[in-house]
Amino acid sequence: MHLAYPAVLAVLLFCTGLYGVLARRNAILMLMSVELMLNAVNLNLVAFDVWLRDTLHAGQALTLFTIAVAAAEIGIGLAIVLLVHRNRGTADIDRLRDLAETPGDADAAVPPQPQPDTKAEATA
């Protein structure tokens, strides 16, 4: 088996995923693009494992580990995206910059403290 065929396919997958991460503003599409990049890495790991004829099959073991990490990343990422969409009404990355707290907002979040009554203290 020629190593060039899966390597070229992996490069195309990785470049497509990289373009998706850099060009897209939707959080779900960005997560899908990250999955494409991880699948390109998996393809390279398995292709090199077959090409090197490794007796321990380390490439396939690393691929299983990468699949587990990708599943956890998608689970946590989708949970965050759903919570943000529920609160903000959009999954647009550019609009999520409103989550940053400005210095003026920190003062508004603290409730005012009640002032002691000066007249009651003067009569006592």
Q: What is the pLDDT of residues 52-81, one digit of tens each?
A: 998 899 999 999 999 999 999 999 999 999
Answer yes or no: is pLDDT of 90 > 90. Answer: no
Fold of 4-99: Helix Hairpins (1.10.287)
Distance between CA atoms of 74 and 88, rounded to whole angstroms?
Answer: 20
Banded pLDDT at 9 (limits 50, 70, 90)? very high
C-beta of residue 74 within 8 angstroms of C-beta of residue 31: yes
Mean model confidence pLDDT for the chain: 85
Q: What is the share, in percent, of the chain residues with pLDDT greater than 70?
A: 77
Q: What's the rounded mean pLDDT across residues 77-103?
A: 80
57: left (phi over 0), alpha (psi -120 to 50) or beta: left
Q: List 71's β-bridge partners, or say none.
A: none
C-beta of residue 91 within 8 angstroms of C-beta of residue 84: yes
What residue ranges do the domains of the chain occupy? 4-99
Query: Quick one: pLDDT at residue 89?
Result: 84
* Best CA proximity match to 26, nearest among 87, 76, 71, 93: 93
Distance between CA atoms of 69 and 31, rounded to whole angstroms?
Answer: 13
